[in-house]
Amino acid sequence: MTDTNISTNSKAKAIAAIVLPYLLAILASFVASGIFIAIMGFNVPKAFATILFTSFRTPNGFIQTLLKFIPLMLQALAFTVPLAAGKFNIGGEGQLIVGGIGATAVGIIFADLPLPILLPLVILAGVIFGGFWAAIPAWLLYRFGINEILTTVMMNFVSFGLIDYVATQIWRDPAAGHPTTIPIGAGGELPMLISSPPLHSGIILAIIVAVGVYIYTNRTSAGYELIATGANPRASKVYGINTRKMFLLSLIIGGGLAGLSGAIEVAGYQHRLIEGLQSNFLLLGLIIGLIAKGDNSAVPFVAFFIAVLEIGASAMQRTMMIPVEMVFIVEALVLLFVLLSDVIRRR
Amino acid sequence: MTKSIVLQMEGIRKVFGTVVALDDVNLQLNSKEIHGLLGGNGAGKTTLMNVLFGLYKPNAGKVELHGEKVEIRSPKDAINNEIGMVHQHFLQVDSYTVTENIVLGTELKSWPTLKLEVEADQIRALSEKFGLAVDPDTIMSDLPIGVRQKVEILKALYRGVEVLILDEPTTNLTPQEVDDLFESLRVMVDEGLSIVFITHKLREVMSVCDKITVLRDGQNVLTEDRENVTEKSLVKAMVGEGLNVEESVVFSSVVSGAETRWGASEFGEPVVKVEGLHAQNEDSIVVIKDCTFEVRQKEILGVAGVAGNGQQALAECLMGVCPIHQGSVIVDGMNVSETETRDLLEGGVAYIPQDRLLDGFLPTASVAHNLILGYQRNQAYSNKGFLDWKIIFQSARQQIDEYTIMTPSAGDVAANLSGGNIQRVMLARAFAHPSSFLIAHNPTRGLDIRSIDFVYKKLFERKEAGAATLLISEDLDELFRMCDRIATIYSGEIVGILEKGEFDKYEIGRMMSGVKAND
Ligand SMILES: Nc1ncnc2c1ncn2[C@@H]1O[C@H](COP(=O)(O)OP(=O)(O)OP(=O)(O)O)[C@@H](O)[C@H]1O
Ligand SMILES: [Mg+2]
């Protein structure tokens, strides 16, 4: 009896030790950004209420948040999974774009196939194309030891050219003012869970993937090898882990996750490829991954929190004319304070 | 002559979570004194020095320098107060030169040219004055560990210190290097420095220290002048009544190869056959030349040699980590050049690497993670690729008990372990998994006496159970005590193999410098 008491007690303490710094960091960042907002002459409590509660006040707000949450979380995982093996994937947006291209291509070329066949193909194409886009830097690293940070970033720029070519040359939709492709076949669209306000089934896919990543990294021998490689590649090699293969694999998995986010944007949301679909997901994904300190199981929660901030920020801009960049400041400050709390705790 | 007090630490207390690492600890350092700080693994030695160096903030207690209270909140404060520290596990920039490593973080006199000539000259002068022979222009990665140690000391001296802390500086040094270091320490003391010297080797304490403080479980147990203690009284202070000296391998075995009660036995079949082994490192430099030997069941084969003569390459060849260039290595029926390291581990080869931090440790992972490194696909822990954390934690807790790994829990991050406790993790991992062949490279490095004794007993138990062991060590006493045969390695070549009964320090010493047996 006392034994279980002690263990639940210490578990609660352990959780508090993890969550408390986060709460303090969030609080501190709100105080700091509140000062900015006040200086700019806006109503601080109202601004914060908008940022924090827009997501929860209306069904539409909540669904908007979920829709934002999907790509953010996948982008963050595309960063943190390779990070677990000690590799930096800064190519998430390129992999998203190329994944989106793959999904669109399949969705247009096989437009007549029925949903049970076309939808899986569209999604799979996104994953494979995204994985392939990451496999190029991964292979350059494996074969020639070329630093993956440089190559993944550069692959982003190549993807910008690629999407432009696809959206203005191959499958251009002449009716659209912005570089956009023609729509994919109806069988390639993710079914709706709720029709109004619209929520597509990509959210289920995203949650399954998040759980899958957690199981892979925390519960399997292969995931153990990934984490061991990140913790000490030399020791992992001495103890029989093929670390170079782990580097390769982790980057390709990351690319596949980013590619999936591109496929979901296409199949769930746009139903076509629109230039600029990558938005600023890469940057936010990095911020989420870093706030989560690379912990894959924390990523979904942090991603949801950032999605709330993002949705709140656009509402704040609409209703109060506070520039949406304000929320970038909040996000950056949260990151800063989380990192700071680490430094303080270590002493 | 009455000595003045340089440093006084009083009532120092430091708590990490639930671990009380230091409990009301005092330390007094006189000027021009070499003060030995002793204690078992996890006794709090490193923590106490980290407090002094400003790395940890104590929960209670005060520090006085020359009778004046000082607040040391960071290493920068420590350096401003002329306190320098050489860490147990130090960090250096491999691709930098010695000079660049030493001046890193100091104000450069040659700024902004970055030529560093003035600094290099200054380092040369220091190294001459204190007898720490180092060429300031060499690239760090080209230097053996013993010289890197000297660089760390020069780093402290360059910043100008009055109090120098040396945390286990001798663990990586050869006996000759240790003697040289002690001479340098004497010069430093004559120049007016005061030194805190941490070690587990009583012989070193007796030969170089003026005063000795012993910690046990974070508390003071003894502070005495060297004249008033013996090796035995120090052991007693360190371990309490815990070590039965009569039963101890370290104390009872006769160091000359004579029979001991753990001694000779009938050997069985060869487990390991190495024939004409050649190996090269990544830079195509030959590291192993034409090695041929066998290790039989019930045998402990020793490998003697000055560090850096191919010992690590030999171990890694047998583990399938370093590629085999020529020749053959058969371990327990497995052809090593055609077998993956992980299959060797599964097939019953265990390994204790010499550089625990670099080659065997996952600092950011949990203790439990560390205990199964290399065995993550073992059926005991995983089922169809899924890890069974319940079993892993169970066996981790068992090993934490058996190997007395001091940690609050198996899930705690391994980076919190003390140096010796990290070594215990290496040992637990190697001993806890059944193996017909063990490669143990300096297995007792950084361990306290009780743990060393424990390792020796484990090695003898293996022997009795019929397993084969390759014991690579720079400690001749250890080899004489433990081995049935001793091979001596010199620049990648086995110069000669002596049988028990023929062990001879001078003979082996000659072979260690490259002179062939019977030359
Ligand atoms: N940063 C830390 N966080 C948590 N526990 C710590 C930390 N540093 C040290 N400890 C704990 O404090 C105790 C004392 O550790 P310390 O490193 O001072 O031992 P030591 O005397 O230097 O031992 P060794 O001879 O093995 O190096 C150990 O139980 C260790 O696990
Ligand atoms: Mg220590």
Of the candidates A225, A234, A238, the beta carbon closest to that of B376 is on A225
The token pair at A31 is 């105080």
Ligand approaching nearest to the C-alpha of B367: 1
Q: What integer pLDDT is reported at residue B175 of this predicted model?
A: 79
Give B130's contacts (C-beta < 8 A, 6+ positions apart).
Answer: B153, B157, B184, B187, B188, B191
**B256, pLDDT greater than 50:** no
Give A317's contacts (C-beta < 8 A, 6+ positions apart).
Answer: A323, A324
pLDDT one-digit tens code per residue, A64-117? 999 999 999 999 999 999 999 999 999 999 999 999 999 999 999 999 999 999
pLDDT one-digit tens code per residue, B437-457? 999 999 999 899 889 989 999
Give B67's contacts (C-beta < 8 A, 6+ positions apart).
Answer: B5, B8
| Reported confidence tier of residue A37, pLDDT bands at 50, 70, 90 | confident
Q: What integer pLDDT is reported at residue B452 of this predicted model?
A: 92
pLDDT above 70 as % of chain A = 96
**B333, pLDDT greater than 50:** yes
Is the link from the previous residue into B408 a cis peptide, with omega within 30 of 0? no
Question: How close does chain B come to A126, measured CA to CA in Å?
Answer: 27
* Cβ-based contacts of A217 with chain B (< 8 Å): none
The token pair at A142 is 């494996």
Across the interface, whether the CB atoms of B342 and A240 are under 8 A apart is answered yes
**B319, pLDDT greater than 50:** yes
- For residues B36 and B192, the answer to whether their CB atoms sit within 8 Å is no
DSSP B453-519: HHHHHHHHHHHHTT-EEEEE-S-HHHHHHH-SEEEEEETTEEEEEEETT---HHHHHHHHTTPPTT-
Closest among B205, B193, B267 to B237, alpha carbons compared:
B205
Cα B94–Cα B97–Cα B99 angle in degrees, nearest 5:
130
* Separation of alpha carbons B160 and B498, rounded Å: 48
* Separation of alpha carbons A166 and A176, rounded Å: 14
**B303, pLDDT greater than 90:** yes
The token pair at A212 is 């899958």
Dihedral, CA atoms, B124, B127, B128, B131, nearest 10 degrees? -160
Q: Position of tokens 């002793």?
A: B38
**B66, pLDDT greater than 50:** yes
Domains of chain B: 5-256 (3.40.50.300), 268-348+434-519 (3.40.50.300), 365-432 (no CATH)
* Separation of alpha carbons A293 and B45, rounded Å: 31
Q: Is the dihedral of CA B469, B470, B473, B475 positive or negative?
A: positive
* Separation of alpha carbons A161 and A183, rounded Å: 20
**CB of B424 sitting under 6 A from ligand 1:** no
Rounded to two decimals, what is the model's pTM?
Answer: 0.88
List, in sequence order, every beta strand (DSSP E) within B281-325.
286-296, 300-304
Q: What integer pLDDT is reported at residue B504 of this predicted model?
A: 87
**A186, pLDDT greater than 90:** yes
pLDDT one-digit tens code per residue, B21-47? 999 999 999 999 999 999 999 999 999
Alpha-carbon distances, residue A18 vs A13, A15, A220, B476 (angstroms)? 9, 5, 24, 49
Alpha-carbon distances, residue B49 vs B20, B40, B61, B63 (angstroms)? 15, 15, 14, 12
- For residues B367 and B414, the answer to whether their CB atoms sit within 8 Å is yes
Nearest-atom index, ligand 1, CA of B417: 31
Q: Give the mean pLDDT of B102-127.
A: 83
Smallest CA–CA distance from B408 into chain A, residue: A10
> Average pLDDT, whole number, for chain A?
91
Closest among B272, B396, B392 to B335, alpha carbons compared:
B272
Question: How close does chain A come to B68, measured CA to CA in Å?
Answer: 24
Q: What integer pLDDT is reported at residue B15 of this predicted model?
A: 93
| Reported confidence tier of residue B297, pLDDT bands at 50, 70, 90 | very high
Q: Give the mean pLDDT of A203-212.
A: 96
**CB of B43 sitting under 6 A from ligand 1:** yes
* Separation of alpha carbons B42 and B19, rounded Å: 11
What's the ipTM? Answer: 0.87
**CB of B419 sitting under 6 A from ligand 1:** yes
pLDDT one-digit tens code per residue, B156-190? 999 999 999 999 998 878 778 889 999 999 999 99
Residue to substitute in B16, B50, B171 for testing ligand 1 pocket (most ligand atoms within 8 angstroms of CB): B16
- For residues A314 and A324, the answer to whether their CB atoms sit within 8 Å is yes
Q: What integer pLDDT is reported at residue B257 of this predicted model?
A: 40
Length of chain B: 519
**B198, pLDDT greater than 90:** yes
**B20, pLDDT greater than 70:** yes
> What is the CA(B308)–ligand 2 centre distance, in A?
24
Q: Is the dihedral of CA B264, B266, B271, B273 positive or negative?
A: positive
> What is the CA(B160)–ligand 1 centre distance, in A?
28
pLDDT above 70 as % of chain B = 93
| Reported confidence tier of residue B259, pLDDT bands at 50, 70, 90 | very low
* Residue A208 burial (CB count, 10 A): 10
Question: In the CATH scheme, what is the code of domain A59-321?
Answer: 1.10.3470
* A289-298, B14-23, B93-102, B258-267: segment of lowest average pLDDT: B258-267
Question: How close does chain A come to B463, measured CA to CA in Å?
Answer: 24
Across the interface, whether the CB atoms of B363 and A231 are under 8 A apart is answered yes
**B308, pLDDT greater than 90:** no
| Reported confidence tier of residue A2, pLDDT bands at 50, 70, 90 | very low
pLDDT one-digit tens code per residue, A125-171? 999 999 999 999 999 999 999 999 999 999 999 999 999 999 999 99
Q: What integer pLDDT is reported at residue B113 of this predicted model?
A: 72
**CB of B420 sitting under 6 A from ligand 1:** yes
Q: Give the mean pLDDT of B250-255.
A: 53
Nearest-atom index, ligand 1, CA of B88: 27
**B483, pLDDT greater than 70:** yes
Residue B37: what are its φ and ψ, rounded to 5°? -115, 115
Distance in angstroms between the alpha carbons of the first and the last residue of chain A = 35
Q: Position of tokens 């002596």?
A: B498
Beta bridge partners of B47: none
Q: What integer pLDDT is reported at residue A3 of this predicted model?
A: 39
Residue spans in chain A of domains classed CATH 1.10.3470: 59-321
Task: Give the DSSP H or E segment for A183.
Answer: none
Q: Give the mean pLDDT of B365-369.
A: 96
Alpha-carbon distances, residue A6 vs A19, B15, B407 (angstroms)? 20, 20, 18
Q: What integer pLDDT is reported at residue B92 of this predicted model?
A: 87
> Average pLDDT, whole number, for chain B?
89
Q: What integer pLDDT is reported at residue A313 of this predicted model?
A: 87
Residue to substitute in B13, B14, B46, B90 for testing ligand 1 pocket (most ligand atoms within 8 angstroms of CB): B46
pLDDT above 90 as % of chain B = 70
**CB of B46 sitting under 6 A from ligand 1:** yes
